[in-house]
Amino acid sequence: PELPRQRVQTLQCGQGAVRAARFNADGNYCLTCGSDKTLKLWNPHKGTALRTYQGHGYELRGALPAPGSPAALTGPLRRSFDNSQICSGGADKSVALWDVTTGQVVRKYRGHAGKVNCVQFNEEATVIVSGSIDSTVRCWDCRSRRPDPVQVLDEAKDGISSVKLSAHEILTGSVDGRVRRYDLRLGQLCSDYIGSPITSVCFSKDGQCVLAASLDSTLRLLDKDTGELLGEYTGHRSTTYRLDCVLNELDTHVGCASEDGHVYFWDLLEGSLALSLPVGQGVVQSLAFHPRLPCLLVATQGQVTLWREDAFRPEGDPD
């Protein structure tokens, strides 16, 4: 499997510091959120900006204070499966649902007592799940006019830094050092103690494993059902900021952002370092891996770069 090694696009976002960058469901578009309170929709493959969205009252921030502090990323965003809606969360403690075409906020959900750190649609885009520094995860029904969440998950003892969803599960990472998985079909909670504040979690594509990044500069792969530690990956630096972790499109490599301006990838099975990608100066703010291609989106400072495999040739380039 090839890893993204060549920079093919650079987006000068003009949003202040870019706090998060995410692909949409099919990987054709991406969203960025900035410290200037705006969201932007892009075609990153062509390097073109398509729309700017404004509606949050406070800065979309991205720093995670030192271990023990109840705070994490603010400024997440997600697109619905049919690309008609966007959800976002911010320092104004609200979750916003946007209409992609009109650029208007369709609904705002208020109820969190602190900054919203992470948001995610369910597969049908009927529910938004949000995590906050108030230590709760809240589930909002997009089809209802009711202002209250349909469910509140309050087991965490510190801020929620990361939320991911599968067809019937909610996966959360918390500054309290625990990875929690809620099985909605069985009504069960499984909790795994890492011991260091969690900055990012994600499912493997096959749904068998969970990847967790934490502030002890270690990436851990866990068996989803048993919690068994399957692998540890080190070499990057993660001690202060909220950093994303990812798996590539084939589940063969795990990756993590680093505070030294690099992105690191390791062989999932062997644990050996496969790639150290120098992407910029300072902290890598956000990572997103394409759902189907060896293609990586990286946010550093005020720009986002798109990386592809060595064999990739942009349209119009000579062989």
4-38 pLDDT tens trace = 999 999 999 999 999 899 998 889 999 999 888 88
Asked if 318 and 33 count as a contact pair (C-beta separation under 8 A), the reply is: no
Query: 80-89, 127-136, 229-238: which range is least confident on average?
Result: 80-89
Interacting residues of 46 by C-beta distance below 8 A, sequence separation 6+ = 9
Give the model's confidence band at 80: pLDDT under 50 very low, under 70 low, under 90 confident, else very high.
low
Average pLDDT over residues 36-53: 93
pLDDT for residue 54:
86
How far is residue 137's CA from residue 156's CA, in Å, rounded to a whole number? 9
Q: At 300, which amino acid appears?
A: T
Give the model's confidence band at 65: pLDDT under 50 very low, under 70 low, under 90 confident, else very high.
very low
Taking alpha carbons only, the member of 30, 96, 88, 99 closest to residue 61 is 88
135-147 pLDDT tens trace = 999 999 999 888 8
This prediction has a pTM of 0.90
List the beta strands (DSSP E) in 154-249. 160-165, 169-174, 178-183, 188-193, 198-203, 209-214, 218-223, 229-234, 245-247
Q: At 19, which amino acid appears?
A: R
- Residue 41 scores a pLDDT above 90: yes
| Cβ-based neighbour number of residue 227 at 10 Å | 14
pLDDT for residue 56:
67
pLDDT for residue 36:
87
pLDDT for residue 122:
92
Q: What is the mean pLDDT of the chain?
A: 89
Over pLDDT 70: what percentage of the chain? 90
